């Protein structure tokens, strides 16, 4: 987490320091890179937790000018720090997912 005053973060890492140029408590600027991957993800707020089950609501069509929804069970990769959750199973790309009001919608179905 960044310190809002200094705009810095403390990081602990391990690496070779053959020439011993880096000393303890020394400041530096670093760039961290990670492998990118494309995956299907949904906002954390879209998920309705029912005990051990995780579900979302998807739009399945319209009738008389009103949207119709269905509850769909999903298998997710839940990481604490991310507002997005990777969908491992249960949804297909392009499906319209309800992102807010899921509790109210659950009461109507």
pLDDT of residue 22: 86
Closest by Cα among 100, 104, 89, 106 to 44: 100
Please check the confidence at residue 79 and state whether its pLDDT lies above 80: no
* Distances from the Cα of 74 to the Cα of 40, 48, 77, angstroms: 12, 10, 10
Q: How confident is the model at residue 17 (pLDDT cuts 50, 70, 90)?
A: confident
Mean pLDDT, residues 24-46 taken together? 85
pLDDT of residue 88: 94
**Mind listing the pLDDT tens digit for each residue in 39-61?**
899 999 999 988 889 999 999 99
Sequence ranges of the domains in the chain: 41-108
Instruction: Mark out the alpha helices in the chain (DSSP H runs).
Output: 102-108
Buried b (16+ CB within 10 A) or exposed e, 28-61: eeeeeeeeeeeebebeeebbbeeeeebbbbbeee
For domain 41-108, the CATH class is mainly beta
Q: Are 57 and 98 in contact (CB under 8 A)?
A: yes
């Amino acid at each position: 987490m960044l310190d809002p005053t200094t705009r810095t973060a403390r990081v602990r890492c391990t690496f070779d320091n053959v020439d011993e140029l880096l000393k303890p408590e020394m400041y530096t600027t670093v760039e961290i890179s990670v492998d990118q991957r494309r995956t299907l993800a949904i906002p954390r707020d879209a998920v309705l937790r029912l005990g051990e089950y995780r579900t979302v609501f998807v739009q399945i069509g319209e009738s008389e000018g009103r949207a119709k929804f269905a509850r769909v069970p999903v298998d997710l990769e839940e990481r604490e720090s991310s507002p997005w959750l990777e969908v491992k199973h249960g949804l297909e790309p392009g499906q319209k997912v309800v992102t807010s009001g899921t509790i109210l919608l659950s009461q109507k179905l």
